[in-house]
Amino acid sequence: MLQPMTPTMTPIVESRIRETARSSVPLSCFFLILLWGLAGGMTFAEDAPAQAAFPDEEDWPEMDLEARIAAVSDGELRFVGPERAAETHRHVNRIRIGAESLSEGWIELTQCHENLDAVRAAQILFSAERIRDLEVVSAEGIGRAWVEGHSVQLTDIAPEATLCIRAESRAMSALGEGRYRLRNGPYMRRFLDGYYPMQVSLDVSYPADRLALVQHQPAMQPGFEVRAEPGHVAVDAAFEGRLFTCLDFCEAGFSDCGVAVSDCAQ
């Protein structure tokens, strides 16, 4: 079984746009996404199937920096309505927790990114200790996508591009007394010193004969929806700032798992 641990090894999700130092900044900036506390796999997948045709750099539209800066928040978590989150970067995470996850901590992950920012280059970084078997499944509107170490490298990203990747993540933690936690975050979409709205969806399956969902954080509210049934949990969030999510499970045979053991954001 997994040894009890405090949930300090947290997955990290960060989207950051680094602008090039120019008087007028084009869209050919660098886009960095730091994702999850996944562990280091070396699967290499290059030349993703979709190719994108791009104009020369001087023909790309300029970024309206004043408008971008005005649109961002200061990092405090705020859930937002669908009109503010519409057409923003969206993470769709499909997670399978198997019986072996309780003893080994590894879960199966398929993660898709929708509405990626149109930039010349980007990379998705994972924690080297907590991912394995990382591979690119599909890419559309992206010139090239390939795995490099514990990262996925992207070039020539068109508007509304999509990317799907697959991996195994060591994301389950044993909290003791039959409790297990799946903790994700902080999710964020960051530009300079501010944060943009984004969307995150989690679709989690687990063995209903072994586990029961006993609580989730944050609580349900406008902008954060949770739908649960035995063996399945779905989460949809629209927000700006930094978001942590926690799903806490109780193993069959333990009757007092309903008490919160720690704050998800700590």
Lowest mean pLDDT among 7-16, 103-112, 217-226, 246-255: 7-16
Q: Is 6 a domain residue?
A: no
Q: Is 64 a domain residue?
A: yes
Q: Is 158 a domain residue?
A: yes
Instruction: Count up the domains in the chain and report the number.
Output: 1
Band of pLDDT at residue 55, cut at 50, 70 and 90: very low
Q: Is 166 a domain residue?
A: yes
User: Domain range for residue 113?
Assistant: 14-18+26-251
Residue 225 buriedness (CB in 10 A; 0-12 / 13-18 / 19+): middle
Q: CA angle, 185 as apex, 43 and 138 as ends, to 5°?
A: 35
Band of pLDDT at residue 140, cut at 50, 70 and 90: very high
Tens digit of pLDDT for each residue in 16-48?
333 333 323 333 344 445 454 432 222 222 222
Pair 176, 259: CB distance under 8 Å:
no
Q: Is 161 a domain residue?
A: yes
| HSE, side-chain direction, 13 A CA sphere, residue 64 | 4
**Residue 138 belongs to a domain with what CATH number?**
2.60.40
Residue in this structure with the two tokens 């930039």, named with its chain if needed: 119
For residue 60, the model assigns a pLDDT of 37
Q: Is 83 a domain residue?
A: yes
Q: Is 234 a domain residue?
A: yes
Q: Is 208 a domain residue?
A: yes
Compute the distance between CA of residue 133 and CA of residue 42 in angstroms, rounded to an integer.
Answer: 7
Q: What is the three-class DSSP state of 246?
A: strand
Tens digit of pLDDT for each residue in 76-85?
899 998 888 8
For residue 191, the model assigns a pLDDT of 66
Please state, for a pLDDT cut of 70, what percent of the chain lies above it.
68
In sequence order, what are the beta bridge partners of 107? 169
For residue 23, the model assigns a pLDDT of 29
Q: What token pair was written down for 118?
A: 């149109």
